[in-house]
Structure 1
């Protein structure tokens, strides 16, 4: 689900900003609705933090779920603006910290004791979750956080424009670059990858046959194939065939629906809005392969619910999270499919969700299952930020990709030593 004002944040994967909990200390706690509406129970007062989803109806739905809960009075802080993560981290350091908050699995939240162990509430239904989601939330055998939605991202394209330009769906980066050239006209750019190109940074690594980290937490992205991919992307950036400086960023489908581009990198959440604007003139394909050893890839973003382990009502907060995100399957399906399209992380729900069974959403599920890559809990904000720098310096500027990857590897290595010794 997109947030209409989070233009420079890759909200659906891990945070980009290299900002740790301690660094957020100087920021004020976030304002918002502190009203204690919530349920009619006489139990604890709980506050939950959500970022402002862009799709109509999500805020009302979240508040409706909270009101239906009788075990506590649950109020919702709906955080608008482009810096949800900064506001969240700042608030976590104050007396006004939320009891429950949505975020992505991040190992520093576990190591700092910020998030509660939820193994006991998840274990009874663990087998009904996508096991890759369980893995991405597990540290030393304990599960931190309940996945709420899985959000695959891919390239969306206009079949009518492809047909007119006699372009086939690209399966390699070379083909993608050639397609953007053939599709570019005086009014339409060939492709849009976001205003700063960073949304595709992880798929670029995976599609080149590399990875962010090895299974034993060593840097795995500094390869010749990734460097070659960066060089090709630099050529695309300077070609004049990319849409640059669009009015809305990659997570919003406006550039695509308004006909500014023939291809846009975006998420499955935007499908309903795209279909409303363009009908059946929409197709999708994964990030194409790079080099001989490469493989097409799909990034799985998404959001998870965490309990603040340093809050005043940890047990009450865990009960609420269990009630909403484990027991109330009708609310979970509503959240995943009634506003934007998302894949429920519960296998039983993913299989029964009617809206995902046919057409474009079914194709999205298929690509997700075939090519999907999930969060790596060890891949932190600072590490993401170091790859942001690689993208900025080797694609948007013209620095040597190998040198940039080597510099990033040094930074990531230092972070890994801090976290894992």
Structure 2
């Protein structure tokens, strides 16, 4: 589901991508989240506490009907719950508001609460909330919201990122879906005709959204199992150098009116290929019919492989909220017990894969056509977007390095090593 301000939009294709703000699609592009501003011990107490009902926070989704659905769900619950749908930089606002007067009791967060929220005690343990349903959730999603065996977020639905392409344009150009990043660059060359550009990766030329896919497609990861940088590798250098060549080629759309999570430029025929999300497929299909196909981020190097990153917003509970017990009960009711509402949330507003394996058989829209092709990518080359320990400081350093390489031609090895130094120092904050 798309946010009102999706991705890391810089506001202008010529502005530095380093300065862009976090938003929903940035979170689901891999960033772990912001540091908690208020410690758990500074919660709402005494007369300053907001009276019940419990308040649940959500960001402003782009799909029609989402806000209405969230309010409708809450009205069905046995106790009063106020739903607040927030505009702007939701993720920063949610992180800053934890434990503060007027903050949320229940809130959603990209890929679940971040590690600082967890270790500071700002969010409640939800292991008991999920109970026996634990085995029914997609393991990779739930693992991302788990720390030292305890669960701190309940996945709401699965968002998948992928490439969409115009079949007719590919046929006219005599190209097929690229299997490697080099093939994508070559295809972009012949697909660029007149006002049409071959590929669109977002306002920043992809530096804020495809850095992770480059690492994964090259056969590597952000971190090793013992939490050390794992992205300083020759294959990653090669992938970034290829992105640099695409950025300079003239075949990359850089002046679209909307960012990568919105399919407007693709539907308008300004590009033959766009990196976006599964959530956009209903809008695309309604406009273009069968003239659309999907493929994953293509492989890099001999040991790499295709990848389709996925993530999920997770429901969390503020540990120092007005009524943590009632907040837990609401999360359990909506995201564990009410599978009918979970299916509605996944299928009625945009297109998503349910977070529960038992719901897949009931997700009828995923069985045929374009949606089935996209769902197959999740099952075959799907990859979680980032580990829990990939903090906002890690992510910022990594994205800054990508920007320097792709947009400014800096040496990949030098920039990634500098980012790795930041990551190493950042992770030293935590005791293993």
Shorter-chain TM-score: which interval? over 0.9
Corresponding residue SS for 1:156 = strand
- 1:315 Cα offset (Å): 0.6
Q: Deviations over 1:62-116 (max 9, x none)?
A: 000001111x2111111112x1112112222521110000002321211111111
Structure-1-length-normalised TM-score: 0.92
Give yes or no for contact 1:44–1:316 (8 Å, CA) kept in 2. Answer: no
Matched residue, 1:27: none
- 1:387 Cα offset (Å): 1.4
1:150 & 1:158 partners in 2: Cα distance? 25
Matched residue, 1:39: none
Paired residues for 1:92-171 under 5 Å: 92-103=98-109, 104-105=111-112, 106-171=114-179
- 1:351 Cα offset (Å): 2.5
Q: Deviations over 1:195-222 (max 9, x none)?
A: 1211111111000111011122111111
2:420 is the alignment partner of 1:413: no
Matched residue, 1:320: 330
2:389 & 2:366 partners in 1: Cα distance? 31
2:102 is the alignment partner of 1:87: no
Matched residue, 1:2: 2
Corresponding residue SS for 2:275 = strand
- 1:295 Cα offset (Å): 0.8
Q: 1:395 to 1:420 in 2, by over 3 A?
A: farther
1:18 & 1:299 partners in 2: Cα distance? 17
2:382 is the alignment partner of 1:382: no
Give yes or no for contact 2:136–2:356 (8 Å, CA) kept in 1. Answer: yes
Q: Once superposed, what is the RMSD of the aligned Cα atoms?
A: 1.8
Q: Which runs of 5+ in 2 are unaligned?
A: 9-22, 40-49
2:48 is the alignment partner of 1:48: no
Paired residues for 1:221-260 under 5 Å: 221-260=231-270
Give yes or no for contact 1:193–1:264 (8 Å, CA) kept in 2. Answer: yes
Give yes or no for contact 1:15–1:381 (8 Å, CA) kept in 2. Answer: no
2:69 & 2:33 partners in 1: Cα distance? 32
Q: Which runs of 4+ in 1 moved over 6 A?
A: none
Give yes or no for contact 1:49–1:78 (8 Å, CA) kept in 2. Answer: yes
2:5 & 2:377 partners in 1: Cα distance? 28
Give yes or no for contact 1:137–1:145 (8 Å, CA) kept in 2. Answer: yes
378-387 vs 246-255, which deviates more? 378-387
1:13 & 1:108 partners in 2: Cα distance? 18
Matched residue, 2:42: none
Matched residue, 1:22: 37
Q: Deviations over 1:11-45 (max 9, x none)?
A: 45266598422399xxxxxxxxxxx9xxxxxx941
1:20 & 1:246 partners in 2: Cα distance? 32
The counterpart of 1:343, out of the listed 346, 353, 356, is 353
Q: Deviations over 1:362-408 (max 9, x none)?
A: 11111011111114111111111111101210001111110000001
Matched residue, 1:284: 294
Q: Which runs of 5+ in 1 are unaligned?
A: 25-35, 37-42
- 1:320 Cα offset (Å): 0.4
- 1:253 Cα offset (Å): 0.7
1:22 & 1:284 partners in 2: Cα distance? 40
Paired residues for 1:168-317 under 5 Å: 168-196=176-204, 197=206, 198-317=208-327
Give yes or no for contact 1:15–1:85 (8 Å, CA) kept in 2. Answer: no
Q: 1:202 to 1:420 in 2, by over 3 A?
A: farther
1:114 & 1:362 partners in 2: Cα distance? 39
Q: 1:16 to 1:215 in 2, by over 3 A?
A: closer
- 1:6 Cα offset (Å): 3.1
1:269 & 1:228 partners in 2: Cα distance? 30
Matched residue, 2:403: 392
2:216 & 2:7 partners in 1: Cα distance? 24
Q: Deviations over 1:328-384 (max 9, x none)?
A: 111100000001111111001123211111111111111011111114111111111
1:88 & 1:20 partners in 2: Cα distance? 11
Give yes or no for contact 1:151–1:268 (8 Å, CA) kept in 2. Answer: yes
